[in-house]
Homo-oligomer: A and B are copies of this chain.
Amino acid sequence: MVTAVQHACFRHQLHDNRPDGSIVGSGMAGQSVAETKTEERGSDNSAGRSAEVDLIAVLVAVTGGEPRVMTLDGGRALPSGPFELAHRSLQSGLRDWVEQQTHHPLGYVEQLYTFADRDRGAGPTAARVISISYLGLTREDVGRDSAEGWRSWYDYFPWEDWRSGPPPVIEEIVAPALTAWAEGGGTERRHRVALAFGLGGNPWNEELTLQRYELLYEAGLVAEAHQPRLDEHGLLVPGRAMLTDHRRILATGIARLRAKIKYRPVVFELMPPMFTLLQLQRCVEALGGRLVHKQNFRRLVEQQELVEETGETAAETLGRPAKLFRFRHAVEVERAIAGTKLPLIRS
């Protein structure tokens, strides 16, 4: 526990929380703008008791060492559709829409977050919409009509890929722009920027994807399809835009996945039935946007008995042939037992 207290936590007191529990404000004065942005951007009121409910999917696959997300409309939207009474459940509704729109079967799925504002996207007259978002993991079905909607998620967040060192975009564009913006916002704002983007000696934390996006949005540095702030500052951070708040939802999905692979064996949902340890490593690196220490990575995977040898070896082109492994599905059950990190008593 203490652990109970081991990581980061943020307070929100009278303000809305972010999907990832990120910091919003600690009661200090000043950035009420920041604090109220996430779940409540505008929206006209009236009194009604029903709302339209949308289901949105962040469908992820990793192919060719790139993390990809399924998109529609030329990369501008995530698969989505309204929840209808005909749907058995939220998840089955989502599955219906995704399979219908992308012709891609959905495997592992988990709920991400429920948003209640679309103000970012719709005009001021837009009705209240509830967006229930899901994260889905699959293998890209190479060699089909697919490849169609799959795009590297780094197209949308170029500053998130640190696999070949700090992305130049940060030092060249993001950092200066954000720093300038933060000038007008007190220490708190500068602090948030430094933490999120690893400036001023702070280490980079790949899990803060959503916070970084929100910061950029708040600073008016990203444009979305419906709202091309193109000339406001004459300066925009690179990265492909999306409709309404789909890019925010994508950021939420990335953040969740980056955090989750660290404590649950979900990566395997993205791997083919058999793979080499290097392939597994590349997959993890693609998701995290960072390189990992090869030897230690293998040690972990093996000592945790997450995989088992298949007996076969990869027919690679270069170097010593690697053994092919398969995921030990048994761990799914075994690990259900683990979990705890409290300094428990007894045994």
Chain A residues near B (Cβ < 8 Å): 1-13, 16-17, 19, 21-23, 26, 39-40, 43-53, 82-92, 107-111, 113-117, 128, 130, 132, 191, 195-196, 202-203, 205-208, 211, 259, 261-269, 284, 288, 290-293, 296-297, 299-301, 304, 306, 329, 331-346
Contact = CB atoms under 8 A, between A and B. Distances in A.
17 contacts: A2-B284, A2-B304, A5-B261, A5-B264, A5-B266, A6-B300, A11-B107, A16-B91, A17-B91, A21-B264, A22-B336, A23-B333, A23-B336, A50-B52, A50-B53, A293-B345, A299-B343
B9 A88 contact: no
Given A1-B292, A8-B338, A44-B85, 18 more contacts: A1-B297, A5-B265, A8-B331, A8-B335, A11-B329, A12-B108, A17-B109, A22-B336, A23-B336, A45-B85, A49-B83, A83-B130, A114-B114, A191-B333, A205-B340, A292-B342, A297-B342, A297-B343
Nearest to A165: B346
Contacts of A264: 5-9, 21
Given A7-B338, A47-B86, A110 B17 contact: yes
One complex includes copies of this chain to the number of 2
Contacts of A115: 90
Contacts of A300: 1-3, 6, 343
Contacts of A21: 110, 264
Contact of A208 (B17, B211, B336, B346): B336
